Amino acid sequence: MKKNIVAIIPARGGSKGLPRKNIKPLLGRPLIQYTVGPALKSRFVDRVIVSTDDGEIADVAKSLGAEVPFIRPAELAQDFTTSEDVLKHALLWLEENEGYRTDIFVYLQLTDLFTRTEWIDKAVQMLLDDSELESAFVVQPDHKNYWKKEGDRYVRLNRGFHMARQLKEPIYREDTGLGCASRAYLILEQNRRVGDKVGIIVNEDFVIDIHTEFDFWLAEKVLLERPEYRKYLS
């Protein structure tokens, strides 16, 4: 049976670190386009929805081909609003106002460069192929050594401190902003973006999380040197 699959991209108007960053031009294109573009090219995603509280962002998103069926309430666009609250609002709005019930949602964060359509499709395909999986998402392998504090002492988080990097079992950093597909019931019933039974997509390539002017400068340099990152924009 055909599944209803929706990509949701949160994009609020307020940003204290870098004002208006969501539509700030990066190589002449608004930042949001670098996430909307790959989502629109997905062979599984039926709808690409931008959740925003800002009229200008809404206009830009619609001009790029995304849907903005609602303006997000101001109380869900605060500094400490969670992604889960934003996703739940979007899925409930679609169901209550359009009678559209989502089976799988794809979460994308436009400040995480560089999302690829292949990741979106692979994450969704994992859920379609395995009914027991709750989520599938992009991860970054990390071979560094980590510690955490327990009481008044520090303990190791991973093993193999004195092993060669090639032999050490990596820790995986969750990069759901680059691509995460989950079953809708996780948000609607449990208020969770990621389930317990997961599939992962390993990305060992370069990524940037855009929060500062330096991040923008670095992203521009990478895009100029790596034109393949721009293939999703046309």
Examine the pLDDT at 165 and tell me if it is beyond 70: no
Quote the pLDDT of residue 154. Answer: 93
Q: Where are the domains of the chain?
A: 5-230
Contact status, residue 33 vs residue 27, Cβ threshold 8 Å: no
Quote the pLDDT of residue 161. Answer: 60
Q: How confident is the model at residue 116 (pLDDT cuts 50, 70, 90)?
A: very high
Q: How confident is the model at residue 164 (pLDDT cuts 50, 70, 90)?
A: low
Question: Mean pLDDT across the stretch 122-147?
Answer: 94
Quote the pLDDT of residue 41. Answer: 95
227 against 187, higher pLDDT: 187
Per residue in 19-53, pLDDT tens? Answer: 789 999 999 999 999 999 999 999 999 999 999 99
Average pLDDT score, the chain: 91
What sign results for the dihedral spanned by CA atoms 88, 90, 93, 99? negative
Question: Mean pLDDT across the stretch 190-203?
Answer: 96
Q: What is the bridge-based pairing of β-strands 135-142 and 171-174?
A: antiparallel
- At position 220, the amino acid (one-letter code) is E
Cβ-Cβ contacts under 8 Å for 59 (sequence gap 6 or more): none
Question: Is CATH 3.40.470.10 what the domain over 5-230 is classified as, yes or no?
Answer: no
Per residue in 57-96, pLDDT tens? Answer: 999 999 999 999 999 999 998 888 899 999 999 999 999 9
Q: How confident is the model at residue 143 (pLDDT cuts 50, 70, 90)?
A: confident
Please state, in angstroms and rounded to a whole number, the distance separating the CA atoms of residues 60 and 151: 49
